[in-house]
Amino acid sequence: MTAFLTKEHLYTLQSVTAPVLAPNGQEAVFVRTLINQEDNKYYAHLFHVELASEEVTQWTFGKERVSGAKWSPDGKQVAFLSNRDEKNQLYILKRNGGEAKKVADFPYGVSSFVWSPCGQKLWVTASLKDGTAFTDAVEKEDKKLPEAYVVDRMKHKMDGVGGNGLRKQGMSTHVAEVTLDGTITQFTEGNHDYALNAVSHDGKKLIIAVNRSENQDFEFRQPLYIVDVATKAETVLVEQDGYYGGAAYSFDDRYIAYVGSDATFKNATHTNVYVYDTETGQTSNLTESLDAPVGDYAVADFQQGAAAPAVVWTETNALYFQVSTMGDIRLYYATLEGELYPATPESEHVYGYAVAKSGNEVIVAVSNPTFPGELFTHNIATGERKQLTHFNDAYLAETTLSAAEPIVFKGAKDWDVHGWIMKPANYVEGEKYPLIVEVHGGPHTLYANTFFHEMQLLAAQGYGVLYINPRGSHGYSQAFVDAVRNDYGGGDFEDIMLATDYALANYDWIDTQRLGLTGGSYGGFMTNWAVGHTNRFKAAVTQRSISNWISFFGVSDIGYYFTDWQIGGDMSDIEKLWHHSPLKYAKNVETPLLILHSEKDFRCPIEQAEQFYITLKTMGKEVGFVRFPDCDHNLSRTGTPNLRIQRLEQIVGWFEKYI
């Protein structure tokens, strides 16, 4: 007899991510993450798998989080990052066994690294206090008196950095090389933030990202340079507004592939794959004909550390990369001659991958709405798959999950809009059930064919769940993703309501009088907007939301530019910002509303919640407010585990009370 999913199953489910193939193509390492309920922490360990025998072995243990594993060029060692000593440091583990060895002590830890092709050293990216060296000792902060923070730029805080959200002053990120015996040599100079993308196979060139502009408040670019290791001479690879990165050299070092999106549609611009020919100096856009974004833009709440390479070369100078398309995250294949086609099937989320040099076999990390995710080998030619890991098999065998049925309906302007509907897990033919409508954040992300613990929990509690990708969502055309900009609360709101109409018209098991609504970030904005513009929902839960674009402009870490990008106005057009602010319509709210917000959310600061709560409360509205300490904007995904559980309790409890 099977049981239904519970909120506590967050402690049972195991996240399997980040496969990396060995140079011999016969084995791989990956990361398994689980939540330790007693310690209230996430632990991520390195595992090894033999592809032929499917034998899985745990390689690291203890109270740590491992990430970024990479095989040495000869396949005899694996380097990885671990926070076992608090800071993220670089470790090396020999293939034939033994203890992992810390390579060196970097003062503020290591953020990323790449092996040198010689196998005798590694290139790292790490933070450094201006005017100091990597070998200098770090003063213990607990011995220092508090100091005033002199703000000298608009980009002075950032969500997710911890503490009070302020960026460290007098710090820069640099590239250095470190030998296996721990000798560190700094490579980059100045008070600039550098990021290392790749090393050429002959070891003579690096691809480094850096913006050396003195004032970067309105700089939204990080140029890529090809740097000669011997002379440090730089050649511009790309230098324009937008995001460009993930660069990788072809095996013959002639070509450099990278991904990027220009600033045509600000942060709504589709990402493409570009290839630079070092012999001709010409750059081509391999995915120009593909009206969908390259990369994984799926939003969910389960996978931890689901890192995947931006692009991967084969020995034949073909490329693999992820594409978000029609609710799927698929692996795509492209050649320099212009071939372009999907390499994995529909109706799934490929959230990690590793490609054999031949390009014929890949390891994929795959999830779908009723499958949390495992590793598989996948034959590109035949499509044949073999499951390599089985961490969640026992859980799936004893748990009833709800399938997600795809739907397509006509939204605003008669555009096709895509989504899913889930029946309650305890569904009985002929019975009526309440329906919860979920709205994702972003807005330039997408709901996907992936496992979503929150959706399954609501279904297990006896609710139907409707979730769609309204205009503004990624994974569809450039026109579709751009359509929400300058129209918040317009066509996007219409899409949500037309989705609700479609569900009520086509699924007679829905109780039309028992509808709920919830969403976070942009989804929180939409929840706030909806309750001020319709009374169709019996209850709503708004999370990490925006209520007032006027104050958001100045308090969010991205407010001063994101507001203009998305709403099309700034503080010189107060009326426009106020028109799109849910707070303006507070007097219309009749739906019981629960407000959930993290204390250390600097993306959508908690004052957004406070304004809405106090305003609604003074008006005598039915409203609740729950604050979560020490968590940032990502509470639902990576927040403190017990607080994630409490968040789910609050959501379920509110709907139980009012629906």
Q: Among residues 66, 32, 27, which one has the least CA distance to residue 50?
A: 27
Candidate list 521, 545, 581, 598, residue with the active-site label? 521
Q: Residue 252 has which token pair?
A: 């013959």
Q: Among residues 17, 659, 597, 36, which one has the least CA distance to residue 300?
A: 17
Q: Among residues 593, 636, 643, which one has the least CA distance to residue 614?
A: 593
Q: Residue 149 has which token pair?
A: 């923070």
DSSP conformation letters of 293-342: -BS--B--SS-SS----S-EE-TTSEEEEEEEETTEEEEEEEETTS-EEE
Question: For residues 579 and 550, what is the distance between their CA atoms, to the nearest angstrom?
Answer: 10
Q: Residue 587 has which token pair?
A: 């007097």
Candidate list 72, 112, 633, 636, residue with the active-site label? 633
Question: For residues 366 and 640, what is the distance between their CA atoms, to the nearest angstrom?
Answer: 25
Q: Among residues 15, 89, 9, 28, which one has the least CA distance to residue 388?
A: 28
Please state, in angstroms and as integers, the Cα–Cα distance from residue 371 to each residue in 49, 403, 638, 644, following that order.
21, 10, 20, 21
SS3 category, 455: helix
**Which helix or strand (DSSP H or E) is residue 213 part of?**
none
Active site residue 521: yes
Q: Where are the beta strands (DSSP E) in 348-503?
A: 349-355, 361-368, 371-379, 385-387, 399-400, 404-410, 416-422, 433-439, 464-469
CA dihedral over 185, 190, 195, 196, signed as positive or negative: negative
CB 526 within 8 A of CB 438: no
Question: For residues 623 and 476, what is the distance between their CA atoms, to the nearest angstrom?
Answer: 36
Active site residue 367: no
**Eight-class DSSP state of 446:** B
Q: Among residues 10, 7, 14, 6, which one has the least CA distance to residue 394?
A: 14
CB 37 within 8 A of CB 381: no
Q: Residue 105 has which token pair?
A: 């002590």
Q: Among residues 506, 505, 490, 501, which one has the least CA distance to residue 413?
A: 490
CB 106 within 8 A of CB 85: no
Q: Is 130 exposed, middle or buried (0-12, 13-18, 19+ CB in 10 A)?
A: exposed
Among all residues, which ones are annotated catalytic?
Answer: 521, 633
